[in-house]
Amino acid sequence: MTTSSETQKLVVVTGASTGMGASAARELARRGFHVLAGVRRDRDADAIRSTGIEPLILDITEPEHVEALAARVESDPRALHALVNNAGIQVNGPVEALPLAEWRRVFEVNLFGHIAVTQVLLPALLRAKGRVVNISSVGGKFAMATYGAYAGSKFALEAVSDSLRREVAPLGVRVVVVEPGGVRTEMAARGVETANRLSARMTPEQEERYGDMVRANNELMASGTASGLTADAAALVIAKAVTTPRPRTRYTAGRDAALIVRLGRILSDRTLDRVLAANLRRHQP
């Protein structure tokens, strides 16, 4: 529900071109916030521009883009209520075979870019006693085979979120993590394409060791995405994290995420390994 106070507040959403980011931007605008929506291309800006949504060209790995965002926020008389760090990429591959350049690219987007945006917007958030909402993943708690880079970046984001929460809570800023499971977005499809491209570059020995595993994980990813939450449903969880007066430190999004988190609390590592391996075997060619 829109309130008069919300119409006077800003929310920044990164990665708002498609998927959860776009849906969250629309949901928050519907609730009366003025949303600064970070997108990568002009056509994405045209697609999302609407009442309450102001698109900005924003690549969070480009310092000049991040500085321009900070200047835009500083020039606005409205308080910055929340920063939603949503931008992300998914790159899967076995630890042995995934090139270091790909590891660095994943961490630049999924971790360092978020830190850069958070650093420049924290002064405004501190003034407004706002909040930071970091979009992690169930992969930020449990790393399946071939998910080392992606899950590693999300594990790191979870740790940074914990540290930041403990630093700024005494100053009135809340830090919330959202952990989605499978969501029907374009990111998973792009992740499968990237995994196939990278697996084609494996040596014959690596193909023999990991090829079936990579293909099974791609099938698992595709099926999990197809049966997952819609982006609009995930956006409702994000909106709750943004608007709830006393938010929890973490929210899962989707039944699969809630189930995996529960299993992780009660099962040993070895038992969980066997559960995940059995699930993966169902998808092997």
CA 107 to chain centre: 12
Yes or no: say if 38 and 16 are a contact pair by the CB < 8 Å rule. yes
Structure tokens, 254: 């989707």
Distance CA 82, CA 124 (A): 10
Structure tokens, 218: 């791609």
Q: How many residues does the chain have?
A: 285
Query: Which amino acid appears at position 267 of this protein?
Result: L
Residues 6+ apart with CB under 8 A from 249: 165, 175, 176, 177
The interaxial angle of helices 100-107 and 148-168, nearest 10 deg, is: 30
Verify whether residue 210 is a known catalytic residue. Answer: no
Which listed residue (147, 150, 210, 251) is catalytic? 150
Catalytic sites, residue numbers: 150
